[in-house]
Amino acid sequence: MPEESLKAAVAAGVLASEQANRDLLQATCEVARAIFSARAASVFLYDERTDELVFEAVAGEGSETLLGQRIPSSTGIAGWVLVTRQPIVLEDVSADPRWGGAEIAAKTGYVPRGLMAVPLLHEEEPVGVLNVLDRPQEARFSLEEMGLLGLFANQAAIALDLLRKGRRAKAVLDDAGADVGVVARIASSLDALEGPEREAGLRLLGALEELFVQKR
């Protein structure tokens, strides 16, 4: 297969994997919102390159306007959860000094009252934040529910990590130039792998990315 055709084929595979991971994140939000009877749920991805939190999935309020929106990683309650790696339960966000969602609320016309938020960790490193907003008034948020929310967090963290690695692989592929054949052959084999072997392959792509960055 000519190099350009191989590159195009692998890029298509990376994009397909990205969409699959985005779909998984969206499904996680939808189910979390339904389980907790919440008005909204969302997943932030931590973009290390820009030091920002990015809305990667939103269910309920804000789903039409927030996808792709970015905020500084230190902003508001989500930023606090990311930095401290601690979950939080708030019954009235407006009374908390960490609340910094006025700008986001202005975009959606929706001002949440209560929330639960948990950090999304992969190998002890923060990759994002999962929020669940506004249970019914008669059903107060509780710390006991963090265990259940943690199950959703684990799933979302895996999807976020794969999403980030897939995007890094695509960036390496786009910039690799004469080295694209090697990268393409490695990337094209990932879909056939599972479990530890897939993780090892993704780590290899990450190492190749660092190598190419050093060469530029």
For residue 167 the two structure tokens come to 């995007």
Give the side-chain half-sphere CA count within 13 A for 46: 25
φ, ψ of residue 25 to 5 degrees: the values are -60, -45
Domain holding 210: CATH number? 3.30.450.40
From the list 59, 170, 80, the residue with the least C-alpha distance to 126 is 80
pLDDT of residue 3: 45
pLDDT of residue 162: 84
Q: Which domain holds residue 204?
A: 3-215
Q: What is the pTM of this model?
A: 0.70
From the CB of residue 196, how many other CB atoms can be counted at a distance below 10 Å?
A: 8
pLDDT of residue 192: 66
pLDDT of residue 53: 94
CB contact at 8 A, 45 and 53: yes
pLDDT of residue 14: 46
Query: With 0-12 CB in 10 A as exposed, 13-18 as middle and 19+ as buried, what is 154?
Result: middle
- What's the DSSP call for residue 41? E
pLDDT of residue 194: 73
Strand partners, 120: 128
Number of domains forming the structure of the chain: 1
154-193 confidence digits (pLDDT tens): 889 988 888 887 777 666 666 655 455 555 566 666 666 6
User: Which region holds residue 3: left if phi is over 0, alpha if psi is between -120 and 50, else beta?
Assistant: alpha
d(CA 84, CA 4): 45
pLDDT tens by residue, the chain, 216 residues: 444 444 444 444 444 577 788 888 899 999 999 988 899 999 999 998 899 999 999 999 888 888 999 989 988 899 999 999 999 988 888 888 888 766 676 666 777 888 899 999 988 899 999 999 988 765 566 666 777 888 889 889 988 888 887 777 666 666 655 455 555 566 666 666 677 777 777 777 666 656 555 544
Element (H, E) at 108: helix 102-108
